[in-house]
Amino acid sequence: MIIFGGKIRKGDWIEAEGTMGMVTDIYMRATKVLSRNNVEYLIPNSDLISKTIVNYSLSSPLIRISLPVGVSYSANPREVERILLEAAAKEPLVSKSEKPSVLFVGYGDSAINFELIICIDVWNTPPGRVRSALYFAIFDALGRAGIEIPFPQREVHIRSPLSAGEAAGNGLPQEASLAMLSSGK
């Protein structure tokens, strides 16, 4: 069915159950897929028929990926947008046929959050490599602009110890109650 249906051909780039690579051979019971890491996988043809696969070769090899970026609340969102678009424009692994875009996705606990949307040619460009290259470029550009990438922060409120009246209300003498509070019991 795989061979005669024409849904998968030798040379196609596919992704099946988290494994991405090029189909190198199709046998009666299994299909051999060579990953970018030069690892060969034998995927049972029954899995290719019954489970979801992505075939990047059936239409355009361009795929869209997004890179989340969080910056300090003190940053100017338009300046962040400019920096992200500039980083994408300078990166040779980003497709020039589709224009990158930036989404301001929301206000987080510790940061204002953006997504840089880019397209890559999945046949020739590993998504992990372009993500890494862009994150290095973005980190450097934000640093040069003085824009902080925040880390999660939490506020801790410490309640004051019981007053003398509250301590006496627990049935213990005031001195005993205060001694228990100071010793942590």
| pLDDT score recorded for residue 5 | 58
| Cβ within 8 Å of residue 88, ≥6 positions away | 94, 100, 116, 118, 134
CATH class assigned to 2-55: mainly beta
- The rounded average pLDDT for each run of 10 residues, N- to C-terminus, in the chain (185 residues) is 63 84 89 89 86 77 90 96 97 92 94 95 85 97 95 76 58 50 47
Domain 62-144 has CATH 3.40.50.720: no
| pLDDT score recorded for residue 179 | 47
Instruction: Say how far apart CA 106 and CA 68 lie, in whole Å.
Output: 11
| pLDDT score recorded for residue 162 | 60
| pLDDT score recorded for residue 19 | 82
| pLDDT score recorded for residue 184 | 46
Q: What is the dihedral of CA 132, 136, 138, 140, to 10 degrees?
A: 180
Residue ranges, comma separated, of all CATH 3.30.70.100 domains in the chain are 62-144
- Quick one: which of 20, 47, 46, 49 has its CA closest to 33? 20
| pLDDT score recorded for residue 45 | 87
Task: Work out the angle at residue 38's Cα, subtended by the Cα atoms of residues 33 and 42, and round it to the nearest 5 degrees.
Answer: 30
Residue ranges, comma separated, of all CATH 2.30.30.60 domains in the chain are 2-55
DSSP state of 160: P
